[in-house]
Amino acid sequence: MLDLNRLKALHAVHIYGSVGAAADALMVTPSAVSQQIAKLERETGARLMERNGRGVRLTDAAGLLAEHAERILALVETAEADFEALRGEVVGRLNIAAFPTATRGIMPKALAALRERHPDLWIQLIEREPERVVRDVARGELDLGIIQDWLNRPMALPDGLSKATLLDDIADVALPAGHPLADAREVELADLHGERWISSSPGTVCHDWLVFTLRNASLEPVIACMADEYPTQLALVAAGLGCAIVPRLGRDCVPAGVRLVPIRPRQSRRIYAVWRADAARRPAIRALVEALAEASRVQENAWAVN
């Protein structure tokens, strides 16, 4: 009988293209993936991987088996979801991912509430950028993910995914305290012509959005510094090295030398939970989405008070 864990390892190599990438997706070591496939070779009596330059490639037999593995794993997931739904118990294991500010701003409250209510539910959380979260949820490597997009640049989701909006995260421009517009009630992006900008890394959602948004306002972005964490961006602003657009979820600690000024028209990003539609029957998914929504409401209430 074919072992499901070994089929999953083979399927991951088939999907991600290498042993290393498959190991990263499965959150194990490359050696563990190679060992699982070696055992699968012994089970099937077929050669499944062969050398290809410095790496390896799957054989034709492996490709055929990987296609069957995809259907088998999908059926197993459906069976598990149906069984959990029948019992109505919030149990089992969920692998989830979120981008950094959501990990810090939403997940602690949500996961603490889940642990108190459902002690038999095991959740593993990792940080990942939204595009990869969407890909890994769609492929079944993650059960649920937290993603973001900006209202003026929405992200398309592949078929087969469901989503729930958690909150709208308003962004303001962060200016050094000595900036001429630091005490303004609000600014238009056009008012910031000629400014130096602090951004996240190229290829990230927020960097690409910033460039897109500034160019739509007829501003050619001059990126002076790049940092992926908003606290670091704010520290750079406080040092007078540029300005940044920072959403509320990313500014839990604002340095004294920074002023936050609303932008007209308002800029905001929407934060979602996404999961595979055929997993929606799982009580654990429903409980997690509910806890995330509650934690998001707590965060929005805190912003309203402040």
Query: For residue 133, is pLDDT > 90?
Result: yes
- Residue 257 is classified by DSSP as T
Q: Residue 128 corresponds to which tokens in the numbers above?
A: 């990942």
pLDDT in tens, 242-296: 999 999 998 888 999 999 999 999 999 999 999 998 888 888 999 999 999 999 9
The pLDDT of residue 80 is 72
How big, in percent rounded to 5, are the helix, strand and coil portions of the chain?
45, 25, 25
Position 237 scores a pLDDT of 97
Q: In whole angstroms, what is the distance from residue 99 CA to residue 125 CA? A: 11
Judge whether residue 20 has pLDDT over 70: yes
If you average pLDDT over every residue of the chain, what do you get? 89
Per-residue model confidence (pLDDT) at position 85: 60
Q: Which of 273, 300, 205 is nearest to 245 (CA)?
A: 205
Q: What is the pLDDT of residue 306?
A: 67
SS3 label, residue 119: coil
User: Which H helix or E strand runs over 184?
Assistant: none
Stronger pLDDT, 178 or 40, i.e. the higher one:
178
Supply angle C-alpha 107, 198, 106, rounded to 5. Answer: 10
Structure-token pair, residue 206: 């927020």
Of 54-63, 104-113, 232-241, which range is least confident? 54-63
CB 271 within 8 A of CB 296: yes
Q: Which residue has better confidence, 302 or 259?
A: 259
Flag the least confident range among 89-93, 110-114, 231-235: 89-93
Closest CA to 204 of 149, 142, 151, 253: 149
Give the model's confidence band at 86: pLDDT under 50 very low, under 70 low, under 90 confident, else very high. low
If you search the block for the tokens 């469901």, which residue do you land on?
162
Q: Which helix (H) or strand (E) holds 263?
A: strand 258-276
Q: What is the pLDDT of residue 60?
A: 84
Give the relative orientation of helices 4-16 and 60-87 as an angle to the nearest 10 degrees: 120
The rounded percent of the chain whose pLDDT value lies above 90 is 56
Cα of 240 vs its chain's centroid, Å: 31
Any residues with CB less than 8 A from the CB of 28 and at least 6 apart, and which?
none
Q: How many CB atoms lie within 10 A of CB 86?
A: 10
Q: pTM for the full model? A: 0.78
| pLDDT above 70 coverage of the chain, percent | 95
